[in-house]
A and B are shown apart, each in its own frame.
Chain A
Amino acid sequence: MKVSFILNGEPVTVDVKPNETLLDTLRLKLNIKSVKRGCERAECGACTVLVDGRPTYSCNLLTAQVEGKEVTTLEGLRDDPIVKELTSKFVERGAIQCGFCTPGFIITAYALLKSGKELTPENVKKMLEGNICRCTGYKKIIEAVTAAAEALKK
């Protein structure tokens, strides 16, 4: 079946099977590699993308479900000032070790910073609960996101 959606600002049409996940379409057909294959069962956050601006797991979504929607990945946010700030704070604060979880964290944090939600460390923790990191122990990630939010306020 044909599915059309907006990927990082550009309209795309892909030919997919009804049982194909958005994760597979992005990685295998559209060469989007910031979106990682982790648990494949909606538990780790490595595959997070934005659908109409809202963080969503692409591993547990049929590509057919995004017909007509806007899908955003980090590839489309390379020059975005919020993403740049987040990235540099992640580096500065040691919030990255192996890096496998990082794109998922950055895009979720990006959505959080854009949402205008209150950004206490408690709330950052709450909204990032759907992203798992096996290396850093989270503390530095939460610090990096909070620091980026502070820096962007100025």
Chain B
Amino acid sequence: MFYRIPEINYFRASTLEEALELISKLENVKVLAGGSDLLIDLKIRRYEVKNVVDISGIKELSYIEDRGDHVAIGAATKLQDIVESPIIATKAPVLAEAVNEMASWQVRNVATIGGNLCNASPAADTAPPLLVLNARLRLVSLEGEREVPITEFFLGPRKTVLRKGELLKEIVVPYERGAGASFIKLGRRNAFTLSVVAVATLVKVRNGIFDDVRVALNSVAPKPVRAVSVEKFLKSREVSMSAIEEGAKRVLQDISPISDVRASADYRKEMSVILTKESLLRSLERAGVKL
């Protein structure tokens, strides 16, 4: 036995109400959704945690619902259920594309979308697609609910705007009719890997002009980011290869990668430009735009 999880107190919440009471009352507490991040972090002593509240059995946190102009996803919905959902496939296919490349089947069967967001890893793969879809996060505590745009949710590595006693309850994903979107992830290998950099893009084109452009990346800043310089440059511009190439270069103004075990900062910069261009081209193709 190489790894050992430190001693913890385990609480199983069966309703949202019960979970909220437990996390507001207990000190040194962490929520466990799938545990795919948390249990490893406990094994490597990343956190000192005394109390763990298991929310995986809460039925009211696990659902994917089509609500017309948006899709609502319960925070404890498992990643594999997102991959296999016909609703996500039609209304937010770029999210399914990203989740399908996360971890492995075994991990996706326990890991949740809420866990991926709340863990706030700079490499979180659900973040880029949700950032370009302008997703909103519904947070809940005993005091009530609030809604935060995903662009404001992450504060830094493993830091979010979640307060003590607060849970992520639901992810609201607007349906972007007529948009083309895509996700490209570069890892150290092709399968079962964290990203060196991943890019999601979404475009809307009208009369040959970029009507809307959204670009987001992970693993190239302390948190997943929108590439606003690229967006500003391309918006309202005529669609052309030279505009896309020029726009993609602007991504360097939006990122601040570091060198780590997976790649060097320089490699990340170069690949961010290349993948931004590739993903924009793919998104245009999916929007039915010919160059």
Contacts and interface: CB of A to CB of B under 8 A. Distances in A.
Interface of A: 1, 17-21, 24, 37, 40-43, 45, 48, 51, 54-57, 60-62, 64-65, 67, 108, 125-131
Contact of B52 (A18, A129, A130): A18
Given A18-B10, A19-B6, A60-B36, A129 B191 contact: yes
Given A41-B43, A60-B36, A19 B5 contact: yes
A129 B189 CA distance: 11
Given A42-B40, A67-B12, A17 B7 contact: yes
Which of A42, A51, A57, A61: most chain B CB closer than 10 A? Answer: A42
Nearest to B103: A130
Contacts of B43: 40-41
Contacts of B103: 42, 130
Contact of B39 (A1, A60, A127): A60
Interface of B: 1-10, 12, 32, 35-36, 39-40, 42-43, 52, 54, 56-57, 80, 103-107, 109-110, 191-192
Contacts, number: 88
A108 to B, nearest CB: 7
25 contacts: A18-B8, A18-B9, A19-B8, A37-B1, A40-B2, A40-B43, A42-B40, A42-B103, A43-B192, A45-B106, A51-B110, A55-B106, A56-B109, A57-B106, A60-B110, A61-B35, A62-B10, A62-B32, A62-B54, A64-B12, A67-B12, A67-B57, A108-B105, A108-B106, A130-B105
